[in-house]
Structures are given as C-alpha cells and as structure tokens.
Structure 1
Amino acid sequence: MIVLLKLNFLGKHVKDNLAIYIVVSLSFLIGISIGAFTVNELNIHQEKDLISYLRGFFRFLGNSGANNFDVFKQSFVDNTQMMLLIYFLGISVIGAPLILIILLLEGFTLGFTIGFLAKELSGFGILISVFSVLPHAIITVVVLTTASIFALNFTIGIVQKKRNKSKNYKFLNQLLTYSFIQAGLTCILVIASIIEAFISPVFMMLILRFMN
C-alpha cells in the first residue's frame, strides 16, 4: 500500500512537472555529451599532463592510498555544499537558472572523466568507470537532479503566486516542505560518500593490480 502511494505520488509529480523533468535531464545529458566530446579535443600537451596526473594518482593509491575517513569527509562536505547551493538558488528565484548550469557542469565532469579513462586505458578505463566511478556518481547525480527539480518547482510556485496574487499559496508551509525534502536528499548523499570513500578504492586497487 505504501509503495503504491509513493508510486502514485511520483507519477503525479512527474506529470505535473514534466517540463522541469525534461529541462533538468537535458541539462545533465548535454553536459555529459560536451564532456565526452571535449576528451577528443585535448591537445597533446593537455593530454600528457592529464595522463601524468592520472599515473601519479595511481602510484599514490598503490603505495599508501588515501585516508578513507578523510575522503568520506571531503566527499560529504562537497556534496552538502552543492545541495545547499541548489537549495538557496531555489529560494532566491532569480538564481534558479544557475541550477541548470550546475547540472550541466556535473554532467560535463562525469562525461569527461569516463571518456578520458576509456580513451587512455581502454578496457581497464571502462572497468574503473563502472566499478569505481559510477557507483557513487549515479547516487549523487540522482540526488542532485531530484533536488534541482524540487528547487525549480519551488521557484515556479513563488513566481506563479506573485503573478496570480494567489492567497491560497502558503509560503511557510511550502518552504518547510521544500526544506524537509532537500534535507532528506542530502542525507542520502551519505551513502554516495561511503561508497566513494570505502568501496570504490577497493575495486580501484583490484583493477590496478591487474593493470600492473
């Protein structure tokens, strides 16, 4: 029963905000496409610098490795800051379009990372992407896109209220609901940070052993 209610709510939310879902999804997908395309546009010097950095990172990981708790803390701080930025941009109304730019940049980063790994390391690059990059990235992307959808929805609600001068729009109630949803989504990012800090490095080490 609870599952059905949640599915009904999700279906209604998608139907009522279909345009937002499409715009948000397109922003992210365009970012991924640009990121992947940019890999092929790197000049020789840029490519060599990135390869050198990548090899240095692999050596560091193979010799001593990063402190898992430090990685977790940094990952969660970065994710939380991103969520707060989206949250306040949604409230600000005027800054809401910047949310789409954030998603485009997130997509660009993911597309470039996977594209570069696949190009330079071939099969091993794909393995690293699948087992060490995508597991936490997928959760992060889903949370950020969902947060962006609710942020834009909140912004549109404010604009419509001012335009129509609706007395039925209860700003405080909407703000509390919006804040609760964004806080809940931020908590989910703990899972992404745990995977990035404690699970992804294990797979990375296994793949590096096969590479060597």
Structure 2
Amino acid sequence: MKRFLIIGHKALTTGSFSLNDMPGSAGRMDVLCRCVNSCFFLSHDLRRDVECFLVLLGEPDAPKTVKFSGEKVRYLNPDERSAGSLLQKALALPCTETFRESTRGVYVRRGGLKELLEEFRDEEGNPIFAILDENGSDIREIPPETTPTAFILSDHMNFTQEEEEMIKDLKRISAGPKVMHADHTITVILNELDRKNL
C-alpha cells in the first residue's frame, strides 16, 4: 500500500465551506483536493493501492484527519469540486478518535500527524513515513528494496516548528531538482514507484 499524508495548515475542519471558494473561505482546501486527485487518478482508472490522509488544522475544530481509500472509494471524479464535496460530507459528521465512514471509502476522525506517526510503524517500531523535501535524497538514486512507499508533505505552507520536531528523524526524499506543487510531487513520486514496480 502506498500512502500520502498531506498537512493542510489552514484547511477548515467543518463542512460549512463553499465549493465555489475553496482557495479562500475553506483555507486552501483546493490544494488538498488536487492532492487527492493526484493520489488516485489514472487515465480511465483509479489507483486502488493508495491511501491519502489529509490532516486538517484550520478552524474551528482542529486537528481532524480525513482518509481516502483507493480500494474502496466511490463517487470521486477528477475535479476539485468532487473531492471537495466528499470532504464536506466527511467534515459534517460528528467524529471521535476512531475513523468513521462518511461516504464509501472516505473516513474522518479526530487527531492529526502525531497519531498517524504512532499508528503506521515498521517491524522495528519506526514510523514508515518519509518526508518529501527538495533537499532530500533523490528517489531515483534509492534502490527499490529501500525506497519508501509512505510520504508526508505540506500544503502551500512550510512545516511548523512543532511539526519539524515530530518528523526530524524521518528519511527525507526528493522528487527532483525543482520545487513543485504538492499535487505534482505526488504524481512524480507515484510514477517513480511505478518504474520501480513498487
């Protein structure tokens, strides 16, 4: 399973935003919607072996995490409004610390980066995630057997000091020599994993 964790620093944690103003009133929810689409869409198909976690840190009830499962998701179309509508429905649900399904393959719970780092660990007890960082090791130079398949990236903002402290010991991976938008980075990384048959 490939996993992407995207932190939305201003993204609203309620479903009361307008689909017509996701860049403004929803706290750059448009960035997260593009990331969702990059995680899953192929030409006339979906990637079923991907999970996408959106950590929402905006008002009024942060943090919350929305999970999209490629294996189970339905009603997702390749446009920002489609992903935004599914996010609205998820965020309208009362939630606890356990994932609750809002629509097929879309889940919401309380909690954020800290909980996900604790939950997803390898056999030695280390977090499985790597950080996507332009100053990291080039993914093309990493052998397939040691290439990570779970990644953390930020929205249009840098990681906060608190986040940097939580991820300071994680491996850092670069998608290439240029700084790209988060959704483009996801596309490039998935292409590299495809080339490595991961």
TM-score normalized by the length of structure 1: 0.25
TM-score normalized by the length of structure 2: 0.26
Structure having the larger proportion of residues in helix: 1
Larger Rg: 1
Larger RCO: 1 or 2 (CA < 8 Å, sep 6+):
1
